[in-house]
Amino acid sequence: MARRRQSVTIKHVAADAGVSLQTVSRVINNEPNVRPAMKERVQASIDKLGYVPSIAAQRMSGSRSYLILALNDRERTIAEWTAREGGDWVDQMLLGGMLKAAEHGYRMLIELVDTHDDHIERELGAALSALHPDGVVLTPPHSENPQIIGLLAEHGIRFARIGSKADGPGIALTMDDEGSAADATRHLVELGHKRIGFIAGPEEYSLSDWRIDGWRAAMDEAGLPTDGLCRRGDFGYDSGVRAARELLALDRRPTAIIASSDHMTLATLETARESGLDVPRDLSLISFDNTPIVRFTNPRLTAIDQPIAATIARAVELLIDRDAEPPAQPVTISGELRIRQSTAAPLSDD
């Protein structure tokens, strides 16, 4: 009777091939110090038994753990999960990272870490000791935390910094926040808008300022003013309400607003309605994120689709390829503007 595939272990392969467990592991890991004849012998047993290598078997050689660890902000992630407000950052991380890792026989795990925790080095050190990851993906704001970066560099662990252009160790990757903000602004300018407000994210995220830079650059390019048209929020709904109220209370209010998160854009949409404004007739809106909820609003929101999955996938790919030299410049993965129903030409060209 044929052995069931799920019951086959590395021990069965070793016994069938008449070799040690370490030899099977070296073949699985495609290590160079295995004679061709021995490799063929072990591979024949693997094929015959239908063996699928486990992480434990791959790790036996001691050269790799076949694990990639991604760190995400604990406080913000748990708050979004608890509120069930439709954010899909972690989902997109898993989509890009897990699938890319699996292509190379790896697994990706996500660990939640509070970047403001006084015990962050101890907490992260414990995770590194327990998992021995081959690489670590840092997401904002961890990607610019000197404690985390220093600890990983000290341990000699390869890591990628998402949303960071700063000099230093690790592989820097960005989602072209500046370019995306500029694209959103140009779309509104082409529609005829001249007073375009911007609701930025918090200062602790470098990408918040990059988006402001992109908005300002596109406004300057069009010869349009930006003074008094920028407010900051914290990516959350309540902060979006406050920022939108301030912008809409201006003597010459903006005819369009770009907000740096879907939650802040939803807040702006509701605030506009409370003020008696119709979107997009009286006010055009563009959001960042493009989470599922923006396709079910009325009107459906025009949004920058951030390439989270593609960026995490590229980071994982770069971490796994240990033979390649790290890129000298930040790797940029550009987003795309998804035009829907929340943008239109202004009622007048004033």
Residue 241 predicted with pLDDT over 70: yes
* Structural domain harbouring 25: 5-59
Number of domains in the chain: 3
Q: How large is the average pLDDT for residues 238-245?
A: 97
| 167 in a structural domain | yes
CA dihedral 152, 158, 161, 166 (to 10 degrees): 80
- Short-list 244, 316, 286, CA closest to 93: 316
Residue 3 predicted with pLDDT over 50: no
Q: Given this model, what pLDDT does residue 263 score?
A: 92
Q: Same domain for 171 and 278?
A: no
- Which residues are paired to 160 by β-bridges? 137, 171
CATH code: domain of residue 263: 3.40.50.2300
Q: Given this model, what pLDDT does residue 255 score?
A: 97
What does the pLDDT look like over 312-332, one tens digit per residue? 999 999 999 877 777 888 999
pLDDT band, residue 53 (cuts 50/70/90): low
C-alpha atoms less than 13 angstroms from C-alpha of 330 in its C-beta half-sphere:
19
Q: Given this model, what pLDDT does residue 5 score?
A: 46
Residue 85 predicted with pLDDT over 60: yes
Query: Which ranges in the chain belong to alpha helices (H)?
Result: 10-17, 21-28, 36-49, 55-59, 74-83, 89-103, 120-131, 146-154, 177-191, 206-221, 237-248, 262-274, 308-320
Q: Given this model, what pLDDT does residue 74 score?
A: 85
Residue 56 predicted with pLDDT over 70: no
Q: Same domain for 38 and 96?
A: no
| 189 in a structural domain | yes
Classified as helix, coil or strand, 16 is helix
